[in-house]
A and B are shown apart, each in its own frame.
Chain A
């Protein structure tokens, strides 16, 4: 227990060092979570648009117009 406390104390600088590592973990994990959610949301939205009968109709019309 004392060894653990000594390690966490880091010669009296523990609060600064652990704050720096904690903040780094918080920001990087937060960014990763937000990015994964951004991808999941747009994946679902795009899939819903592709599945929508209106889009299919519009796409068909646009293809016919091109021909």
Chain B
């Protein structure tokens, strides 16, 4: 069973021996390691400042009163849910087109982070919806398309691990990620295309943000905190993915070396 699962791999390793020297992943890892301490620092500082402004130094809203404070954890989570998916789809497309090893690892490392942000966007949105809309959930276009985004992330993660041959799983998952990218503009414009319960954009607008500075400050600080959190976790997970790939290659080399009948060593 083990050798059955590993043989297609062995062929691939032979076929693309140069790629498996890990020259590119190593170089990429060096870049990621250099960025990581900066991302960690920015993440901790902006989280501290953002939480201070979000909970203490910003005023309640004239309509939504204190519940507006949920916005500071909900909106950045929703932004990152979409940003991570765009990164996942772009990395998956690169992996499919150029068979770039690093791109596949970035995609695999991004998926759980994006899924976590999407889950947070849905859950905190629900906790905001109950006191403001009077309901935890409605099948509104924005909410439904974000729920589909969450399922796309889960589908990507499950497909990646669903095959004995990891490269086939990665390919199937990449195709899903690229096709699923159609959902991103649907999420973005859902509030304009359909008359839904969810409010339209108030920060990212052509004529500037329709939100007061006292509320924009914590929102932007939290957005920087979430982005640097993504970079920090991405650095950790890409390194772990590169390790996993090296471990697999070493194991395959060991199995193929001992499998070949004319190898006496």
Chain A residues proximal to chain B, CB less than 8 Å: 10-14, 16-17, 19-21, 23-24, 27-28, 31-32, 34-36, 38-39, 41-43, 45-46, 49-50, 54-55, 57-62
Chain B interface main SS type: helix
Chain A interface main SS type: helix
Identity of the chain A residue whose Cβ is nearest the Cβ of B73 in the assembled complex: A24
Identity of the chain B residue whose Cβ is nearest the Cβ of A31 in the assembled complex: B116
A42 touches B254 (CB 8 A): no
Docked pose: A59 CA to B124 CA in angstroms: 52
Identity of the chain B residue whose Cβ is nearest the Cβ of A54 in the assembled complex: B254
Residue-by-residue, is B221-250 near A (CB-CB < 8 Å gives 1, otherwise 0)? 000000001001100110110011011001
Identity of the chain A residue whose Cβ is nearest the Cβ of B233 in the assembled complex: A35
B67 contacts across to A, CB distance below 8 A: 13, 16-17
Interface magnitude class on chain B:
35 or more
3 cross-chain pairs, A with B, having the tightest CB-CB distances, nearest first: A42-B243, A10-B66, A20-B124
Identity of the chain A residue whose Cβ is nearest the Cβ of B249 in the assembled complex: A49
B265 touches A49 (CB 8 A): no
A57 to chain B, nearest CB (A): 7
Given contact pairs A13-B67, A35-B237, A38-B236, A19 touches B73 in the complex (Cβ within 8 A): no
Partner of B69, one of A17, A28, A35, A39: A17
A31 contacts across to B, CB distance below 8 A: 112-113, 116, 233
Partner of B239, one of A21, A39, A54: A39
B246 touches A38 (CB 8 A): no
B240 contacts across to A, CB distance below 8 A: 35, 38-39, 41-43
Identity of the chain A residue whose Cβ is nearest the Cβ of B244 in the assembled complex: A42
Which residue, A54, A57, A62, has most C-beta atoms of chain B within 10 A? A62
* 5 A-B interface contacts by CB (under 8 A): A16-B67, A17-B67, A34-B112, A41-B240, A58-B253
